[in-house]
A and B are shown apart, each in its own frame.
Chain A
């Protein structure tokens, strides 16, 4: 093997190895890309958050339209909390703020921390469902045996597509005690 060829091979190796390393980075880059993509398209049932002071400027209440909002609560595998909505559904006008709450009780003998994660169905309605206040914004600590009424204030965007008459808001509560302790 001539040294010229050897050098050429080493250079080619370095170039291609760089591509491989870049692709490893690209794998990680997919994570923020995925979030941005979901945010732009409103996919994934992710709900929005909005400041209550901005509402008057942005939305006109649409009193002619009624949308049903249903509430569902789930527990992640192994999460022992008693968790559920205080009302199962509400009739709301888009553009108007409503308040409701979810109840949670920690039936175990030790203090725990929970995190609720929301999801809206149908998928395309997620971006039109905005919350001004939600227990899901923060981790929720519950002492042993404690129960809590956790408030939720939300507003449905009047631009919600006309064919959507029912929205389902589902919360899944996860046990994050371990994570919160660290």
Chain B
């Protein structure tokens, strides 16, 4: 077992060490990428199981399955697990696997920290999930943990705060590693404007994470001291202000939603050209659009708080600033469409997910524009319309891009082709059911059904039932994905080095599966 630690310093052609300790002590970017991705998949199913509880309770009006406190903790922890446990680690896993191979580097720049930043995560989420077994139950005040409600949580409160601290430290370290790798480890000739867009979007995402995660850490630390150390940051009795928490939280929270989507833009920008067999349309405009979105994300936070009581000038500023984000986002969508225009398109599973992403993410973008209209938001605020909006951008957006990435690069990672038939079935069942699941929630929200409430008025019954049925089908169909991944790892038709006829980029010049150390000698980039 002690030989496992030697793999980092020893750059000869040998495989990984054997046994469990390989995974605990690994500093290899591919191993760590795999760990991140598997962790994300496990969390995806844990968070998904919570969503099933939510949809089961909402299948009918009245209280049937769980009690309201538990229902509220389901919505809260579902969000925390999906955001911090599933989507973010999945993107970090993809970054670990792909960035060194895409820029022609042998490994990540800081391999030991890489190991550390992954292995914090299982502890973070054990802490979070352990709160369910404590006096007072899991966090139930919403994932935004607004005070004073969140301060009423039971014994689990500090556990939740420390879980957020740990997850935050993990992603900050992961981001630092990514930035250092991209800045210092590119192959000769790989200038910044020659980098694949996935690398570009991750570089910008990493900066967003480094800038905002510490602010969240600060905010939750203030909550902790308010509860236990007698400070009054958010307590009006002591001269604080609970609304200030919302400002600090969303100063983190809005960049966070772009952290959850920018890497997705990079993935789609890699997949669409491959299957359209044309180079990406408007590469540099894609880079500038990503950077503008990142910049704008810092000046729009209060659009989450339109109803909190703001002067009209503030409402107008945040409304216009928010709408401005539609411009660079539109540039991206039009670029993808232009890339497909007159291309020789084929629709293998990754392309299906990528095209599904473009269409359904845009639907979510449009409902986002509706929410940005400050006067209209007073009606939409905290209704199921908001729930429908962010699930379109996060499930059919972020999660679809991760699925697309998994199908696209799995043959490269494992050396085996996935089962195309099962993959396409997975796509179609998911896409039909996810729309049955989330589209009716727009109607429910417009009709006034509030979010985060376990019961509802009877006139909402029909759409809720339909939504729940879609939810159950979508939930079960994700097991197909797990099966396809398992089957591909175990074996299958051998993949070529290039895997896809139209694929370009350094990672496709490596054998499938790639050697344990990717580019021990830097490749030539023209």
A19-B210 in contact (CB<8A)? yes
* B243 in contact (CB, < 8 A): yes
A34→B185 CA distance, assembly (Å): 41
In chain A between 160 and 180, which residues have their CB closer than 8 angstroms to a CB of chain B? Answer: 172, 174-176, 179
The reply to whether A16 and B176 form a contact with Cβ atoms under 8 Å apart is yes
Q: Among B180, B183, B213, B222, find the residue whose CB has the most chain A CB atoms closer than 10 A.
A: B180
Q: In the complex, how many angstroms separate the beta carbon of A150 from the nearest chain B beta carbon? A: 16
B135 contacts the other chain (Cβ, under 8 Å)? no
Query: How many pairs of A and B residues are in contact by the CB < 8 Å rule?
Result: 98
User: B230 in the interface, Cβ–Cβ < 8 Å?
Assistant: yes
B327 within 8 A of A: no
Give chain A interface residues in 24-44, CB to chain B under 8 Å: 24-28, 30-31, 34, 38, 41, 43-44
| Residues A20 and B176 in contact in the complex (CB < 8 Å), given A31-B244, A179-B238 | yes
Chain B residues positioned under 8 Å from A30 (CB to CB): 215, 218, 244, 247-248, 251
Distance from A12 Cβ to chain B, minimum over Cβ atoms (Å): 4
Interface core residue of B148, B184, B219 (most chain A CB under 10 Å): B184
A179/B230 contact (C-beta < 8 A), A9-B109, A13-B180, A26-B215 known = yes
A70 at the B interface (CB under 8 A):
no
User: A15 vs B183: C-alpha distance in the bound complex, in angstroms?
Assistant: 13
What chain B residues lie within 8 Å of A24 (beta carbons)?
214-215, 217-218
A5, B235: Cα distance in complex, Å: 49
User: Which listed residue (B11, B180, B230, B237) contacts A174, Cβ 8 A?
Assistant: B237
Does any Cβ of B come within 8 Å of A182's Cβ?
Answer: yes
Q: Does A91 contact B (CB under 8 A)?
A: no
Interface mask (B233-258 → A, CB under 8 Å = 1, otherwise 0): 10111100101100110010000000
Contacts of A19 in B (CB 8 A): 210-211
Question: A12 touching B244 by the CB < 8 A rule?
Answer: no
Q: Which residue of A lies closest to B310 (CB)?
A: A43
A12-B183, A27-B248, A123-B309 known; A17-B219 Cβ under 8 A: no
A28 CB contacts on chain B under 8 angstroms: 218, 222
CB distance from B105 to the nearest CB of A (A): 10
Residue of A nearest to B179 (CB): A16
Q: Look across to chain A and name the residue whose beta carbon is closest to the beta carbon of B149.
A: A77
| Interface SS of chain B | helix
Closest to B107 in A: A1
Within 8 A of A (CB), among B167-199: 172, 176, 179-180, 183-185
Does A8 lie at the interface of the complex (its beta carbon under 8 Å from any beta carbon of B)? Answer: yes
Bound: A44/B308 CA distance, A: 10
Using known A-B contacts A5-B185, A34-B244, A117-B237, determine if residue A27 contacts B219 with beta carbons closer than 8 Å: yes
In the complex, the chain A residue whose C-beta lies closest to that of B212 is: A23
- Give A176 to B11 CA distance when docked, in angstroms: 64
User: CB-CB < 8 A to A123: which residues of B?
Assistant: 309, 311
Q: Which of chain B's residues have a CB closer than 8 A to the CB of A17?
A: 176
- Count of chain A residues with a beta carbon within 8 Å of a chain B beta carbon: 37
Q: Are A179 and B180 in contact, CB atoms less than 8 angstroms apart?
A: no
Q: Which residue of B lies closest to A182 (CB)?
A: B230
**Residue A47 at the chain B interface, CB threshold 8 Å:** no
Tell me whether A21 is interfacial, beta carbon within 8 Å: yes
Interface positions, chain B 200-228, Cβ under 8 Å from A, are 210-219, 222
A76 at interface (Cβ–Cβ under 8 A)? yes
Contacts of A96 in B (CB 8 A): none
CB contacts under 8 Å to A, within B126-185, are 148, 172, 176, 179-180, 183-185
The digit string for A92-108, where 1 denotes a CB below 8 A from any CB of B, is: 00000000000000000
Return the contact of B237 from the options A8, A13, A43, A76 (Cβ within 8 A). Answer: A76
CB within 8 Å for A43 and B311 given contacts A16-B210, A20-B176: yes
Residue of A nearest to B252 (CB): A27
What interface size band does chain B fall in?
35 or more
CB-defined interface of A140-174 with B at 8 Å, one 1/0 digit per residue? 00000000000000000000000000000000101
| A132 interface contact, C-beta 8 A | no
Across the interface, which residues of B come within 8 angstroms of A8, CB to CB?
Answer: 184
Q: Is B506 an interface residue (CB 8 A)?
A: no
Q: How far is the CA of A81 from the CA of B120 in the complex (A)?
A: 47
State how many angstroms separate the Cβ of A32 from the closest Cβ of chain B. Answer: 11
Q: Are B180 and A44 in contact (CB under 8 A)?
A: no
Report A-chain residues with C-beta under 8 Å of the C-beta of B213: 20, 23
Confirm or deny: A49 has a beta carbon within 8 angstroms of a beta carbon on chain B. no
> Does any Cβ of A come within 8 Å of B110's Cβ?
yes
B263 at the interface (CB under 8 A from A): no
**Do the beta carbons of B210 and A23 come within 8 Å of each other?**
yes
Please state if B243 and A13 are interface contacts (CB–CB under 8 Å). no
Contact B238 A9 (CB under 8 A): no
Given known contacts A27-B218, A34-B244, A117-B237, A13 and B110 CB-to-CB distance under 8 angstroms: yes
Give the residues in chain A near B183, CB-CB below 8 Å.
12
Docked CA distance A77–B179 (Å): 47
Taking CB atoms, residues of chain A closer than 8 Å to B311 are 41, 43, 123-124
Per a CB cutoff under 8 Å, which of B176, B211, B241, B248 touches A13? B176
Q: Can you name the residue of chain B whose Cβ is closest to the Cβ of A77?
A: B148
Using known A-B contacts A17-B176, A20-B210, A27-B217, determine if residue A179 contacts B237 with beta carbons closer than 8 Å.
yes
B93 contacts chain A at the CB level, 8 A cutoff: no
Contact of A172 among B107, B236, B248, B310 (CB under 8 A): B236
Instruction: Judge whether B217 and A31 touch: CB under 8 Å.
Output: no
Contact mask for chain B residues 288-326; partner A; CB cutoff 8 A; 1 contact, 0 none: 000000000000000000000111000000000000000
Q: Are B241 and A34 in contact (CB under 8 A)?
A: yes
Q: Nearest CB to that of A116 among chain B residues?
A: B237
Q: Provide the bound-state CA to CA distance between A123 and B184, in Å.
A: 52
A22 to B217, CA, bound (A): 12
Residue of A nearest to B313 (CB): A41
| Subset of 19 A-B contacts with CB under 8 Å | A1-B107, A9-B110, A13-B110, A13-B176, A24-B215, A25-B218, A30-B215, A30-B218, A31-B233, A31-B244, A44-B241, A44-B243, A76-B236, A77-B148, A115-B237, A115-B238, A123-B311, A124-B311, A175-B237
Q: Which 3 pairs between the two chains have the least Cβ-Cβ distance?
A: A27-B218, A174-B237, A24-B214
Given contacts A12-B179, A23-B215, A43-B310, 12 further A-B contacts (CB under 8 A): A9-B185, A12-B183, A13-B110, A16-B176, A16-B210, A19-B210, A24-B218, A27-B215, A30-B218, A38-B241, A174-B237, A176-B238
